[in-house]
Amino acid sequence: MAATLSLLRLPILSSKHHQTKPKIPIPRKKKHSVTLVPQQCHQDSYKLPLHDTIDHLRSASIPLTALAFPFFLDAKDAVAAGGEFGILEGRSFALIHPIVMSGLFVYTLYAGYLGWQWRRVRTIQNEINELKKEVKPVPVTPEGTPAEPPKPSPVEAKIQQLTEERKELIKGSYKDRHFNAGSILLGFGVFEAIFGGLNTWFRTGKLFPGPHLFAGAGITVLWAAAAALVPAMQKGSETARSLHIALNTLNVILFIWQIPTGIDIVFKVFEFANWP
């Protein structure tokens, strides 16, 4: 609007003024003559009546607004980096992502260990049930007492060992711990994956499609897909459990494969970004 009004005041836009200039009557006296100073004459010649000024505003407002409109849509306002984000463009915030993701990688392995222990609690009982089928019955007398002192067989010894192991596993509360670890991993993992992309945009003004970005997106999707199988797993679906394990195994593989590209990006952060 300011640009429009400023341009309206330019003499070149007053088309009517160039066609017809108002004549300024010079008063004459009998004994004295009036001489106009050139500067004063120049200023007075550009004074238009009120109705002519309004006509100029009406005729020029639309083209001048169109002329000034692109200045309100400056493309630079949509570009990140350049100092306007302050500390968000520095090394401090850039190093948060690799540090947190390193911790999440270790935590992923820990969550997998808890899940494996909980699976062991479930599968060990199946092993015990199968071994019990192999135990031979002990001969008894007509009175119901054993004919001879029972000797523990290797199968029975194995059953006893597995039973004690299962009791210890149950005390570890691996089911709840695995569920809690998976929930924390999903929440912080998705948050940090998005934060990593935003941090790159803060520093450079764009994203860089490549192995690191695609692997990170794949890891995030696998986290969500594995978590989506939990309701079916709680209902006892072995298919869901097997698929849950397969997705998390693929997640760990992608995580390991992503580490070298992440280290390269850290080196670039130290090369191109400044403290803080």
Q: Delimit the domains of the chain by residue range.
A: 2-72, 89-115+174-272
Q: What is the pLDDT of residue 83?
A: 61
Per-residue pLDDT averaged across 113-124, rounded? Answer: 92
Alpha-carbon separation of residue 218 from 75, 211, 245, 250 (angstroms): 32, 10, 16, 10
What is the model's pTM?
A: 0.61
Q: What is the pLDDT of residue 82?
A: 60
Per-residue pLDDT averaged across 249-269, rounded? Answer: 91
Assess contact for 134 and 161: CB atoms under 8 A.
no
CA distance 237 to 122: 13
Mean pLDDT of the chain: 74
Q: Please report, in angstroms and rounded to a whole number, the separation of the first and last CA atoms in the chain.
A: 40
**CA 173 to mean position of chain CA atoms:** 33
208-235, pLDDT tens digit by residue?
A: 888 899 999 999 999 999 999 999 999 9
CA distance 256 to 266: 16
Alpha-carbon separation of residue 42 from 17, 53, 84, 225 (angstroms): 13, 18, 47, 80
Q: What is the pLDDT of residue 138?
A: 66
